[in-house]
């Protein structure tokens, strides 16, 4: 009986320019493979292993690759052909809610506003507490968070405000960043959540768009969302230090102020505006360079895409990963797009 290689149902194969990635959403891991291995996987889903071996210059290499993928849990050998390659591809994005909010703590932020967010199914909130802001007020705000359906809290705190926070009482805290910090040492023994100490200023942290594999996340929701939406902008709400409501800190358009919001319905009417959702559906498959990057379904990118035409977008700044040579900035033989004479701007995309 003929045998075939099939990826597991929770695995998705995504091709880049030089490399490919197998996403495993159930185990929340991924495997980087060459384009040649990707072609073998795809062919193996409809072509028997015996035929693959006979068509290859090295039958032992074919068996070795498929055995490795099977042993690592990305696929299995079966008696039937695979029905499809991307079985988890499905648009599951719920647009009628706020999934995450970024709030610059200020006197206008009240417990009522936290409950409005919770009623719109907000799951995660990042609070920014800068110097000069009453950090002790956050203890009151957090009480409302604790009683809400919000599941996770992240804090970006100026080092001068850290002492006024009851850190150990924040049971939903998952990430803590202390910025503008010159502290040489902090005892992390009591910290059960992720901690980051940074000498960077708040502006430098917010504006930073450098990527790394350590920042990438593998989960079913992100993979599904990234195929149809922009994971950074979709369902996001940002409240600046004056209480103004924007889609994100990178966008200047103001849609209202929290001092004028008196119900969840009023908040929903703001995020439901067509202009508020301008960037929600600009996924990486529409953006120059990103569309051929193997990391495109894992990358949450805070750069603001620029529109060239209905289905063509580009970035004015370059990413620190170049998919055309599969190199990160700082790696040996890395070259920027400019050095490779690859151009992406309002006039079009071109490469030698």
**pLDDT at residue number 327:** 96
**pLDDT at residue number 265:** 94
Q: Residues of CATH 3.90.930 domain(s) within the chain?
A: 4-78
What is the per-residue DSSP string for 261-274?
A: --SHHHHHHHHTST
Please name the CATH architecture into which domain 4-78 falls.
Alpha-Beta Complex (3.90)
Structure confidence by residue, pLDDT tens digits, 168-183: 889 999 888 888 755 4
Percentage, residues of the chain above pLDDT 70: 89
**pLDDT at residue number 94:** 56
Q: Summarize the confidence of residues 152-174 as an average pLDDT.
A: 88
Q: Give ∠ CA 216-217-220 in degrees, rounded to 5.
A: 145
- Confidence band, pLDDT 50/70/90 cuts, at residue 184: very low
**Encoding tokens for residue 180?**
């503008």
Q: Summarize the confidence of residues 48-52 as an average pLDDT.
A: 89
Q: Summarize the confidence of residues 133-142 as an average pLDDT.
A: 83
Unique residue bearing structure tokens 């369902």? 235
pTM score: 0.86
Dist CA 284 CA 313 (whole Å): 9
Residue 279's nearest CA partner among 258, 305, 252 is: 305
Dist CA 141 CA 304 (whole Å): 31
Dist CA 277 CA 258 (whole Å): 19
The answer to whether the beta carbons of residues 175 and 193 sit under 8 Å apart is: yes
Instruction: Judge whether residue 31 has pLDDT over 80.
Output: yes
Instruction: Judge whether residue 192 has pLDDT over 80.
Output: no
Q: Of 93-97, 136-140, 203-207, where does mean pLDDT reach its minimum?
A: 93-97
Buried residues in 204-242 as b, exposed as e (16+ CB within 10 A): eebeebebeeeeeebebebbbbbbbbbbbbbbbbbbbee
Q: Mean pLDDT for the chain? A: 87
Dist CA 84 CA 284 (whole Å): 22
Buried residues in 17-50 as b, exposed as e (16+ CB within 10 A): bbbbbbbbbeeeebbebeeebbebbbebbebbbe
Instruction: Judge whether residue 85 has pLDDT over 60.
Output: no
- Confidence band, pLDDT 50/70/90 cuts, at residue 9: confident
Q: Summarize the confidence of residues 115-119 as an average pLDDT.
A: 95
**pLDDT at residue number 193:** 45
- Confidence band, pLDDT 50/70/90 cuts, at residue 58: confident
Q: Summarize the confidence of residues 300-308 as an average pLDDT.
A: 95
Residue 320's nearest CA partner among 213, 214, 215, 211 is: 211
**pLDDT at residue number 146:** 94
Instruction: Judge whether residue 271 has pLDDT over 60.
Output: yes
**pLDDT at residue number 163:** 80
């Amino acid at each position: 009986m003929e045998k075939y290689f099939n990826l597991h149902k929770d695995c998705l194969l995504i091709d880049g320019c030089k490399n490919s990635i197998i996403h495993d959403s159930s185990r929340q891991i991924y495997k980087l493979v060459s384009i040649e291995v990707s072609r073998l996987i795809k062919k193996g889903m409809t072509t028997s292993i015996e035929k693959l071996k006979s068509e290859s210059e090295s039958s032992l290499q074919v068996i070795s690759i498929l055995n490795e993928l099977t042993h690592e849990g990305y696929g299995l050998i079966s008696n039937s052909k695979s029905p499809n390659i991307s079985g988890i591809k499905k648009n599951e994005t719920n647009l009628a809610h706020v999934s995450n909010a970024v709030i610059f703590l200020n006197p206008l932020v009240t417990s009522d506003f936290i409950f409005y967010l919770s009623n719109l199914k907000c799951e995660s909130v990042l609070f920014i507490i800068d110097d000069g802001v009453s950090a002790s007020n956050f203890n009151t705000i957090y009480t409302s968070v604790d009683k809400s359906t919000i599941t996770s809290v992240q804090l970006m705190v100026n080092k001068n405000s850290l002492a006024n926070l009851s850190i150990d009482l924040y049971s939903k805290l998952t990430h803590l960043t202390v910025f503008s910090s010159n502290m040489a040492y902090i005892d992390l023994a009591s910290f059960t959540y992720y901690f980051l100490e940074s000498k960077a200023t708040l502006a430098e942290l917010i504006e930073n768009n450098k990527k790394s594999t350590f920042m990438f996340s593998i989960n079913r929701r992100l993979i599904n969302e990234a195929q149809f939406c922009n994971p950074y902008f979709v369902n996001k709400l940002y409240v600046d230090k004056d209480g103004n409501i924007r889609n994100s800190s990178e966008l200047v358009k103001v849609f209202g102020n929290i001092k004028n919001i008196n119900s969840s319905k009023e908040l929903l009417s703001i995020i439901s505006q067509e202009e508020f959702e301008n960037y929600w559906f600009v996924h990486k498959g529409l953006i120059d360079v990103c569309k051929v990057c193997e990391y495109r379904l894992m990358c949450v990118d805070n750069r603001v895409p620029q529109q060239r035409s209905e289905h063509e977008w580009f970035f004015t700044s370059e990413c620190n990963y170049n998919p055309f040579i599969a190199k990160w900035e700082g790696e040996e033989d890395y070259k920027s797009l400019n050095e490779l004479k690859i151009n992406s701007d309002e006039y079009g995309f071109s490469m030698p």
